[in-house]
């Protein structure tokens, strides 16, 4: 979901699924290729080659995507042959509801012992039958401490004194959620009147907004051009490490706490190989390396004992319990998602 370096997605689905008969492997197993669908810049560069060198019967064909919705389109396209995906919580819930996922065989993932209870008790997949948590985090406000005191309410994003120095995320669920929270509503509301109020609030805010964007907003905050930015916690971690004048806050009204997960679609032809890769990513040594690269919070309790202390001291990476308690997971909206899409288009096309 949430690493925002958006790598251009190739929508060509003629990726190879199996490379059989390619010679003997040290394990004696038939060599296979697993097709992995993940966010851009969401795995430490060396890990794939390290995994392949340790498991010479498995090759990884790695494909990147920019949004949960793009991921859904790719995996539901006729003829797709993906073996592993990294969707966010609400998309996991949708895929489960549509019977598109294969249950996880935890016998092949002994490193799941390192997953904390917090990450294994979420409602989008109770008991984690179909998903293994990969990262988690919050949505909040990145702010310039030389220009703004620590935000305590979402209403600061509607404060006219910061006109032209406010950045909003170009994301339907996240920006609409900020407006719903500003109005005192549930981020998963299916009330059309409340959604309409959120649209009007975002229209009223638009003259204050420098841009709706992604990576470029983070860069603008780092170079001091912005005062406030709706952002993901992992991007905040990176930004704060680049510029000590930046801080991160989750307002008192609450926010979204999200989880990106590893799931096996029913199109998978090599689930054992996929589970071998998932287990590798949960190995504490590699999970620590990966977490320090990605910057998002980890579900791996062992990593929290091994990671550099600078991460533990960063409130975006390691939020307090009271912050997490006032946050809510996004849920699959079902047919009502079309109402959010219509609302978002109204905002995007509105000219003050």
**Is residue 214, in this structure, part of any structural domain at all?**
yes
- What total number of domains does the chain contain? 2
Do 161 and 236 fall within a single domain? Answer: yes
Q: In terms of DSSP bridges, do strands 84-85 and 131-144 run parallel, antiparallel, or are they unpaired?
A: unpaired
Domain that holds residue 343: 137-256+319-349
Which residues are CB-neighbours of 6 under 8 A, at least 6 positions away? 40, 66, 214, 215
Rounded CA separation 241/222 (Å) = 9
**Is residue 11, in this structure, part of any structural domain at all?**
no
User: Model-level pTM?
Assistant: 0.89
**Is residue 175, in this structure, part of any structural domain at all?**
yes
Closest by CA position to 168, among listed 215, 115, 138, 212: 212
DSSP 336: G
Phi, psi torsion values for 136, nearest 5 degrees: -150, 170
Do 131 and 141 fall within a single domain? Answer: no
Do 263 and 131 fall within a single domain? Answer: yes
CB contact at 8 A, 153 and 253: yes
Do 170 and 286 fall within a single domain? Answer: no
Question: Rounded to an integer, what is the distance from CA 334 to the centroid of its chain?
Answer: 20
**Is residue 8, in this structure, part of any structural domain at all?**
no
CB contact at 8 A, 169 and 175: yes
Rounded CA separation 161/189 (Å) = 30
Do 115 and 217 fall within a single domain? Answer: no
Tokens of residue 19, six digits:
């490379």
Do 49 and 197 fall within a single domain? Answer: no
The CATH number linked to 236 is 3.40.190.10
**Is residue 163, in this structure, part of any structural domain at all?**
yes
Q: What are the pLDDT tens digits along the chain (352 aa)?
A: 554 443 333 333 333 333 343 455 776 789 999 999 999 889 999 999 999 999 999 999 999 988 888 899 999 998 889 999 999 999 999 999 999 999 999 999 999 999 998 888 889 998 999 999 999 999 999 999 999 999 999 999 999 999 999 999 988 999 999 999 999 999 999 999 999 999 999 999 999 999 998 878 989 999 999 999 999 999 999 999 999 999 999 999 999 999 999 999 999 999 999 999 999 999 999 999 999 999 999 999 999 999 999 999 999 999 999 999 999 999 999 999 999 999 999 999 999 8
Do 175 and 101 fall within a single domain? Answer: no
């Amino acid at each position: 979901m949430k690493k925002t370096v958006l790598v251009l997605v190739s929508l060509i689905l003629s990726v190879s699924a199996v490379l059989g008969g390619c010679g003997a492997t040290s394990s004696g197993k038939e060599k296979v290729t697993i097709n992995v669908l993940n966010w851009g810049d969401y795995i430490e560069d060396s890990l794939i080659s390290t995994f392949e060198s340790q498991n010479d019967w498995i090759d990884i064909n790695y494909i990147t995507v920019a949004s949960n919705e793009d991921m859904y389109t790719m995996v539901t396209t006729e003829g797709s042959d993906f073996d592993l995906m990294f969707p966010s919580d609400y998309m996991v819930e949708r895929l489960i509801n549509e019977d598109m996922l294969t249950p996880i065989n935890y016998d092949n993932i002994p490193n799941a012992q390192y997953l904390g209870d917090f990450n294994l008790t979420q409602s989008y997949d109770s008991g984690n039958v179909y998903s293994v948590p990969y990262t988690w985090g919050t949505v909040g406000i990145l702010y310039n401490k030389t220009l703004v005191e620590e935000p305590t309410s979402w209403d600061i994003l509607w404060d006219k004194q910061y006109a032209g120095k406010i950045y909003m995320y170009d994301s339907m669920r996240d920006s609409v959620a900020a407006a719903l929270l500003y109005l005192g509503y549930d981020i998963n509301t299916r009330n059309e009147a409340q959604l309409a109020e959120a649209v009007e609030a975002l229209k009223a805010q638009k003259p204050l907004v420098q841009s709706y964007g992604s990576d470029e907003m983070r860069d603008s905050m780092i170079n001091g051009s912005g005062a406030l930015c709706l952002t993901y916690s992992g991007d905040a971690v990176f930004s704060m490490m680049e510029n000590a004048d930046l801080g991160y806050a989750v307002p008192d009204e609450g926010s979204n706490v999200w989880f990106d997960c590893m799931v096996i679609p029913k199109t998978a032809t090599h689930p054992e190989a996929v589970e071998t890769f998932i287990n590798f990513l949960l190995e504490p040594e590699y999970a620590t390396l990966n977490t320090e690269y990605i910057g998002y919070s980890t579900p791996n309790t062992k990593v929290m004992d091994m990671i550099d202390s600078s991460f533990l001291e960063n409130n975006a990476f390691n939020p307090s319990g009271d912050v997490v308690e006032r946050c809510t997971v996004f849920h699959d909206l079902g047919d009502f998602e079309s109402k959010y899409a219509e609302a978002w288009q109204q905002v995007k096309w509105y000219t003050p």
